[in-house]
């Protein structure tokens, strides 16, 4: 059979129209024959709404992509060439708790960083590993492309605890930084190149080029002179000019939580009082989006979707699938097995790094040592992710406590234990591995 079969798990997500738009735009070079949108029974209504919009979008575009909806991934997976995962275990209610509880202890409350990131990892990893088992059985040749957060920790777990080797973790942060730099320089994005290296939501631009010439210092200067380049879900409080000069590499928007911890914490506490957590804001945005999606006359991706932090993730996804499928050998920043590309990070761990994308998958470009300015933080977060992934797989309380305590956003062992105990309890229903005997 010609054409590609794609299965998207978490297909009822409000982000799905982005993906559909991406496949429509690239149809000539990326002929998607079948797209299966799969969700859980609780997501049935959303799946039907998004699915109907997806069908209207391909019809309007006049491309022969067959859209199927399913509540059973085992029905969808056979014959898949690519499986994409975009799940949120515990839905936005769980995210709200991840963001709110740490704030009570004076600690950053964030979806993918600090305690929130840990608990999201503990909930998500077992579900992703179950999906891996199904892929192994039903479509062993498929590529697994994961967007589910925390994407770095999830990729780490897939690489180390599943038998799937054809896997890539994907995020919109590098593409967002690329577009942000082009905007700072006021040039077309295709004239810019960035040497990305680090981890997911902890990636740095080690060098920035414009038409092949190094312009890193100019970009760092622009970054700390005006708007500091960010994503919709992260407030931009600017950057300290002298610090950015000293750092000498381009930070990602998430680095604010590490380098501006107290300012970001104050801001989060204010936001909590005024408008609630980001999860609450997103709940509102989602309900507006789903109202729009329900309109039978809508047949395009509505621009309001760009208000979400993950805007443009489909560009990253479609670009990647396109380059694997066509053996394009272009350079893209993705999450893969390190294999020695970054010195000081275990060879079997996930890193986010520029790769050459071939039909055998992404080949990481060698980085060597990271600059001393950032090496320590990257290694500390990698240790955190490794311990967290082990805790997620084993349900071992002590590993979870260790992960919480060595996270640089958590100030002490006692605070770590208090936060962990409260968060494990509130997320109990989504953490069966920690409560095996009582569930």
Catalytic residues: 254
Q: Which is nearer to ligand G6P, 34 or 315 (CB)?
A: 315
Taking only Cα atoms into account, the Rg of the chain, rounded to an integer number of angstroms, comes to: 21
> What does the chain come to in residues?
439
Using DSSP, how many helices (H) and how many strands (E) does the chain show? 16, 12
- Measured CA to CA, the distance from residue 272 to residue 263 in angstroms comes to 14
Phi-psi region of 229 (alpha: psi -120 to 50; beta: other; left: phi over 0): left
Q: Which is nearer to ligand G6P, 34 or 111 (CB)?
A: 111
Q: Which is nearer to ligand G6P, 304 or 366 (CB)?
A: 304
Q: How far is the CB of 385 from ligand G6P (least distance, A)?
A: 15
Q: How far is the CB of 1 from ligand G6P (least distance, A)?
A: 33
Q: Which is nearer to ligand G6P, 34 or 156 (CB)?
A: 156
Tell me the torsion sign for CA atoms 119, 123, 126, 132. negative
Q: How far is the CB of 31 from ligand G6P (least distance, A)?
A: 28
Phi, psi (rounded to 5 degrees) for 243: -65, -45
Decide: 67 and 51 in contact? Cβ < 8 Å.
yes
Both tokens of 89, joined, read: 């275990």
Cβ-proximal residue to ligand G6P, closest one: 309
Q: Which helix (H) or strand (E) holds 206?
A: strand 202-210
- Measured CA to CA, the distance from residue 124 to residue 431 in angstroms comes to 9
* DSSP symbol at 342: B
Q: Which is nearer to ligand G6P, 56 or 88 (CB)?
A: 88
Coil, helix or strand at residue 352? strand
Q: Which residue has the tokens 């994503």?
A: 231
Q: How far is the CB of 156 from ligand G6P (least distance, A)?
A: 15
Q: Which is nearer to ligand G6P, 316 or 416 (CB)?
A: 316
Q: Which helix (H) or strand (E) holds 196?
A: strand 192-199
- Measured CA to CA, the distance from residue 276 to residue 78 in angstroms comes to 42
Both tokens of 56, joined, read: 């209207």
Q: With CA atoms as reference, report the closest residue to 239 among 265, 260, 261.
A: 260
Q: Which is nearer to ligand G6P, 264 or 402 (CB)?
A: 264
Q: Which helix (H) or strand (E) holds 425?
A: helix 413-426
Q: How far is the CB of 232 from ligand G6P (least distance, A)?
A: 6
Residues 6+ apart with CB under 8 A from 255: 202, 204
Q: How far is the CB of 111 from ligand G6P (least distance, A)?
A: 6
- Measured CA to CA, the distance from residue 139 to residue 21 in angstroms comes to 25
Q: How far is the CB of 436 from ligand G6P (least distance, A)?
A: 30
**Alpha-carbon separation of residue 111 from 79, 98, 292, 311 (angstroms):** 34, 6, 26, 16
Q: Which helix (H) or strand (E) holds 353?
A: strand 350-358
Which parts of this chain interact with ligand G6P (CB under 6 A)? 149, 171-173, 231-233, 278, 282, 308-310
Where would I find the beta strands (DSSP E) of 25-182? 32-38, 66-70, 82-85, 143-146, 167-169
């Amino acid at each position: 059979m010609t054409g590609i079969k794609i299965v998207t798990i978490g297909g009822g997500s409000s982000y799905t129209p982005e993906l559909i738009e991406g496949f429509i735009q690239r149809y000539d070079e990326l002929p998607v024959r079948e797209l299966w949108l799969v969700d859980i029974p609780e997501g049935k209504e959303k799946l039907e709404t998004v699915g109907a919009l997806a069908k209207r979008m391909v019809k309007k575009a006049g491309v022969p992509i067959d859209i199927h909806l399913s509540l059973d991934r085992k029905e969808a997976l056979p014959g898949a060439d690519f499986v994409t995962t975009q799940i949120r275990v515990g839905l936005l209610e769980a995210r709200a708790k991840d963001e709110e509880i740490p704030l009570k202890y004076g600690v950053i409350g964030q979806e993918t960083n600090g305690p929130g990131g840990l608990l999201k990892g503990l909930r998500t990893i077992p579900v992703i590993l179950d999906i891996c088992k199904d892929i192994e059985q039903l479509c062993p040749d498929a590529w697994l492309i994961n967007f589910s957060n925390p994407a770095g920790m999830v990729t780490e777990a897939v690489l180390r605890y599943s038998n799937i080797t054809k896997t890539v973790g994907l995020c919109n942060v590098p593409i967002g930084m690329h577009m942000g730099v082009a905007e700072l320089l006021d040039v077309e994005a295709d004239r810019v190149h960035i040497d990305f290296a680090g981890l997911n939501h902890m990636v740095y631009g080690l060098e920035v080029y414009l038409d092949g010439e190094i312009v890193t210092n100019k970009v760092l200067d622009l970054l700390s002179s005006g708007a500091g380049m960010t994503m919709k879900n992260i407030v931009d409080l600017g950057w300290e000019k002298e610090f950015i000069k000293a750092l000498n590499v381009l930070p990602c928007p998430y680095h604010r939580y590490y380098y501006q911890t107290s300012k970001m914490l104050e801001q989060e506490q204010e936001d909590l009082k005024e408008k609630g957590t980001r999860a609450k804001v997103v709940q509102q945005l989602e309900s507006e989006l789903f109202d729009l999606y329900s309109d039978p006359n809508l047949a395009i991706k509505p621009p309001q979707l760009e208000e979400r932090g993950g805007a443009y993730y489909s560009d990253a996804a479609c670009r990647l699938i396109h380059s694997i499928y066509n053996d394009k050998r272009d350079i893209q920043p993705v999450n893969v097995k390190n294999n020695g590309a970054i010195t000081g990070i275990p060879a079997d761990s996930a890193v986010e790094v520029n790769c050459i994308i071939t039909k055998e998958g992404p080949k990481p470009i060698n980085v060597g040592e990271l600059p001393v300015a950032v090496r320590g933080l990257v290694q500390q977060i990698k240790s955190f992710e490794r311990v967290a992934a082990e805790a997620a797989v084993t349900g071992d309380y002590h590993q979870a406590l260790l992960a919480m305590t060595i996270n640089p956003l958590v100030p002490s062992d006692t605070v770590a234990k208090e936060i962990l105990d409260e968060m494990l309890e509130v997320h109990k229903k989504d953490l069966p591995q920690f409560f095996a005997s009582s569930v």
